[in-house]
């Protein structure tokens, strides 16, 4: 068993010894007893590795508004500073300036497998939901509204769907949709269903057991009968599916009998695909990127830092060139298509290779036959290549490419496969590549299992979850004590029942034991109810429906299990890389078996 990582263990190499007041320091020691003073200030970690940030005096000057800023070492308190919000200066690990505190809890990089950045020669990024973090309240609502219109106008669903609204906070990642039964499930790492809803109606424990726990063979919960909600893009369609399930159940005759739950899900997926194919979503984003995409002023200094450290950088995205150029212009220079400053190609200076229209996850298979075309940035024209090398046009004596803009060192392509990328970057070993993405299956699993790339998963929800874990650390201790107390009472009850059944005792002693047993059973029920209520309240503080993202009860959730298996590193946003040295050696915490836990923890 892998014991979940401790929620907070600060890397004290960031701080001087007098930064924390005694009370705060003692609370830290309660959470991570494995730290000693010598460990803290010399980078030796036994708890979760959040990076050893050292304040070196080598800044990264930025054009225009891209400044540098880090912690004010004189302040004894930890203050929240959103390093990604528009108008604020970016936080850089090596900046000599002070003035603001880093958000040291929510912006950590967490480590599952040792990764020495000195061995990494190329760092790659996905774009959508990795470099570009979309705002769910606007972008997901836009996707939802577009899907509804496609269902009504293209697929013949009732017009009253047009009056529906979208609660963008309701769904979370890591859920599983049961297409046949119309259920939405959250399960633990062992694939036991812990939370289940039919549409928006919660299933009882008995229903969950009868449907998913009383079969001769274990269900794999995979396609084609189930759909996995593993990307933020999928939240709107999951919510719409739940609405359709309720609508079908509560409105007999309005949905044809031939349209079962599975058919409704296929229709939702078809409508989503129509929205993407006709360009509805991307056209709206392109007109006003600021409305749909979070500004992050730390992205440019992060990319500069990696390049200045000698790493190659690349971008691999499924988006095509026209949309990629608009989004990257916004992220790297706040430029928009209709704004005062027009889109240009300055952002290409931060990359060696850009591959658009990559068709991941198929891109990660070296035997993929996808052709590799070079993109002429100004016109968007696709030019044939021979595995990335220029090819002359008929009648030309030598191959030539159009001018690519102010930065000619970066080449832009469409299609191809990972073999082409390795050749373009002259990569000798897949383990020399770190790839950062947001999709477990599309970005992380294939690149890790098929190629052996090192991986970092971006989990935006993590920032709020880690901060809440810190606030609720005492509640977690109380829950553990209640659970232990309940176990102790049950052991006493079992012992008394055994004595009453098998021991040779007189009637008086039997009455005494029976009375004691009644008291214990009453106490057990009280503790059970208290424990359940405390668990429920803790569950609701994270999310009123689905609870903690990385947990289901006392077990890691299915999503957490996937993160642990396939992501070498994980963090809340890609620009958190800018808070760490590009030569950082990330080290994981120690694994514990159940027989070790009480001894060492």
Specify the range with the lowest mean pLDDT, choosing from 37-41, 195-199, 306-310, 492-496.
37-41
pLDDT (0 to 100) of residue 90: 55
Q: Is 128 annotated as a binding residue?
A: yes
Specify the range with the lowest mean pLDDT, choosing from 115-129, 246-260, 358-372.
358-372
- Is the pLDDT confidence value at 595 over 70? yes
Q: What is the mean pLDDT of residues 211-239?
A: 85
- Is the pLDDT confidence value at 14 over 50? no
Q: What is the mean pLDDT of residues 52-66?
A: 37
If we measure between CA atoms, which residue out of 395, 523, 541, 410 comes closest to residue 467? 541
Q: Binning pLDDT at 50, 70 and 90, where does residue 559 land?
A: very high
Question: Percent of the chain beyond pLDDT 70?
Answer: 76
Digit-coded pLDDT (tens) for 498-547: 988 888 888 888 888 899 999 999 999 999 999 888 888 888 899 999 99
H-run or E-run covering 596: helix 594-600
Q: What is the mean pLDDT of residues 335-362?
A: 80
pLDDT averaged over the chain? Answer: 79
Q: What is the mean pLDDT of residues 305-312?
A: 94
Candidates 39, 82, 126, 504; catalytic one: 126
Question: Percent of the chain beyond pLDDT 90?
Answer: 45
Q: Is 396 annotated as a binding residue?
A: no
Q: What is the mean pLDDT of residues 558-566?
A: 90
Considering only residues 43 and 366, tell me which one the structure prediction assigns the higher pLDDT: 366
Question: What φ, ψ does residue 445 adopt, rounded to 5°?
Answer: -60, -50
Residue 128 annotated in active site = yes
> Is the distance from CB of 3 to CB of 597 less than 8 angstroms?
yes
Considering only residues 356 and 76, tell me which one the structure prediction assigns the higher pLDDT: 356
- Is the pLDDT confidence value at 57 over 60? no
- Is the pLDDT confidence value at 585 over 70? yes
pLDDT (0 to 100) of residue 447: 62
Q: Where are the domains of the chain?
A: 122-133+293-392+407-459, 136-287, 471-548
Digit-coded pLDDT (tens) for 507-518: 888 888 899 999
- Is the pLDDT confidence value at 473 over 70? yes
Question: What φ, ψ does residue 207 adopt, rounded to 5°?
Answer: -65, -40
- Is the pLDDT confidence value at 12 over 50? no
CA distance 302 to 299: 5
Considering only residues 115 and 74, tell me which one the structure prediction assigns the higher pLDDT: 115
Q: Is 103 annotated as a binding residue?
A: no
pLDDT (0 to 100) of residue 82: 46
pLDDT (0 to 100) of residue 77: 30
Q: Binning pLDDT at 50, 70 and 90, where does residue 48 land?
A: very low
Judging by beta carbons within 10 Å of its beta carbon (0-12, 13-18, 19+), is residue 351 exposed, middle or buried? buried
Digit-coded pLDDT (tens) for 139-193: 999 999 999 999 999 999 999 999 999 999 999 999 999 999 999 999 998 888 9
**Which of 3.30.70.100, 3.40.50.720, 3.40.50.1000, 3.30.470.20 is the CATH number of 122-133+293-392+407-459?**
3.40.50.1000
- Is the pLDDT confidence value at 207 over 50? yes
- Is the pLDDT confidence value at 23 over 90? no
- Is the pLDDT confidence value at 367 over 80? no
CA distance 478 to 541: 15
Considering only residues 503 and 238, tell me which one the structure prediction assigns the higher pLDDT: 238
pLDDT (0 to 100) of residue 597: 74
> Per-residue b/e over 381-404, b at no fewer than 16 CB within 10 Å?
ebbebeebeeeeeeeeeeeeeeeb
Q: What is the mean pLDDT of residues 337-359?
A: 82
- Is the pLDDT confidence value at 101 over 50? no
Task: Give Cα 152 distance to the centre of its chain.
Answer: 32
pLDDT (0 to 100) of residue 509: 87
Give the Cα-Cα-Cα angle 105, 107, 108 (nearest 5 degrees): 75
Q: Which of 350-359, 437-446, 462-471 has the largest mean confidence? A: 350-359
- Is the pLDDT confidence value at 230 over 90? no
Alpha helices in 87-178 (DSSP H): 141-153
For the chain, counts of helices (H) and of strands (E): 17, 20
> Is the distance from CB of 518 to CB of 496 less than 8 angstroms?
no
Q: What is the mean pLDDT of residues 568-593?
A: 90
Digit-coded pLDDT (tens) for 318-329: 999 999 999 999
- Is the pLDDT confidence value at 80 over 90? no
The secondary structure of 489-537 as a DSSP string is HHHHHHHHHHHHHHS---HHHHHHHHHHHHHHHHHHHHHHHHHHHHHHH
Digit-coded pLDDT (tens) for 117-132: 999 999 999 999 999 9
User: Two tokens at 56?
Assistant: 């070196």
pLDDT (0 to 100) of residue 566: 87
Candidates 128, 267, 296, 352; catalytic one: 128
Residue 518 annotated in active site = no
Residue 456's SS3 state is: strand
């Amino acid at each position: 068993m892998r014991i979940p990582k401790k929620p907070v263990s600060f890397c004290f190499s960031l701080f001087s010894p007098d930064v924390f007041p005694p009370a705060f320091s003692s609370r830290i020691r309660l959470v991570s007893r494995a730290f000693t003073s010598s460990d803290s200030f010399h980078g030796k970690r036994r708890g979760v590795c959040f990076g050893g940030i050292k304040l070196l005096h080598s800044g990264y000057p930025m054009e225009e508004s891209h400044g540098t800023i880090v912690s004010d070492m004189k302040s004894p308190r930890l203050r929240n500073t959103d390093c990604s919000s528009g108008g604020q200066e970016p936080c850089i690990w090596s900046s000599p300036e002070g003035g603001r505190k880093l958000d040291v809890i929510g912006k950590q990089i967490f480590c599952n497998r040792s990764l020495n950045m000195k061995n990494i020669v190329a760092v790659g990024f996905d774009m959508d939901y990795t470099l570009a973090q979309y705002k769910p309240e606007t972008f997901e609502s836009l996707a939802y509204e577009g899907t509804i219109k496609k269902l009504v106008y293209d697929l013949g669903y009732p017009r009253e769907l047009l009056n529906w609204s979208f609660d963008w906070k309701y769904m979370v990642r890591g859920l599983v949709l049961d297409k046949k039964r119309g259920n939405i499930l959250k399960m633990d790492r062992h694939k036991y269903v812990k939370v289940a809803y039919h549409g928006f109606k919660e299933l009882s424990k008995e229903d969950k057991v009868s449907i998913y726990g009383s079969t001769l063979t274990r269900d794999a919960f995979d396609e084609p009968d189930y759909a996995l909600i593993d990307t933020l893009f999928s939240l709107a369609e999951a919510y719409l599916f739940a609405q359709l399930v309720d609508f079908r159940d509560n409105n007999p005759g309005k949905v044809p009998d031939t349209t079962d739950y599975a058919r409704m899900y296929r229709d939702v997926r078809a409508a989503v695909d129509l929205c993407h194919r006709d360009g509805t979503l991307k056209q709206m984003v392109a007109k006003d990127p600021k409305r749909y995409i979070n500004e992050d002023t730390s992205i440019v200094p992060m990319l500069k830092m990696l390049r200045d450290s000698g790493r190659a950088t690349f971008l691999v995205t499924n988006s095509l060139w026209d949309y990629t150029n608009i989004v990257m212009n916004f992220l790297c220079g706040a430029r928009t298509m209709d704004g005062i400053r027009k889109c240009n190609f300055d952002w290409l200076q931060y990359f060696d290779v850009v591959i658009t229209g990559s068709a991941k996850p198929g891109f990660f298979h070296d035997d993929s036959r996808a052709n590799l075309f070079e993109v002429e940035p100004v016109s968007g024209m696709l030019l044939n290549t021979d595995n990335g090398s220029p090819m002359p046009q008929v009648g030309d004596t030598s191959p030539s490419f159009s001018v690519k803009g102010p930065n000619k060192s970066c080449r832009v392509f469409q299609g191809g496969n990972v073999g082409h990328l390795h050749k373009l970057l002259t990569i000798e070993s897949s383990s020399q590549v770190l790839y950062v993405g947001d999709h477990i299956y599309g970005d992380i699993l294939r690149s890790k299992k098929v190629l052996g790339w090192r991986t970092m998963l971006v989990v935006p929800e993590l920032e709020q979850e880690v901060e809440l874990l810190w606030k609720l650390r005492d509640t977690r201790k109380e829950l553990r004590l209640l659970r232990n107390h309940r176990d102790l009472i049950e052991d006493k009850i079992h012992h008394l029942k055994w004595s009453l059944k098998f021991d040779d005792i007189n009637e008086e002693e039997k009455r005494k034991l029976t009375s004691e047993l009644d008291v214990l059973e009453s106490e057990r029920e009280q503790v059970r109810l208290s424990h359940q209520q405390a668990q429920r309240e803790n569950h609701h503080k994270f999310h009123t429906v689905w609870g903690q993202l990385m947990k289901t009860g006392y077990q890691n959730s299915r999503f957490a299990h996937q993160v642990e298996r396939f992501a070498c590193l994980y963090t809340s946003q890609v620009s958190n890389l800018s808070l760490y040295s590009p030569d950082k050696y990330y080290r994981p915490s120690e694994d514990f078996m159940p027989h070790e836990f009480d001894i060492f923890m």
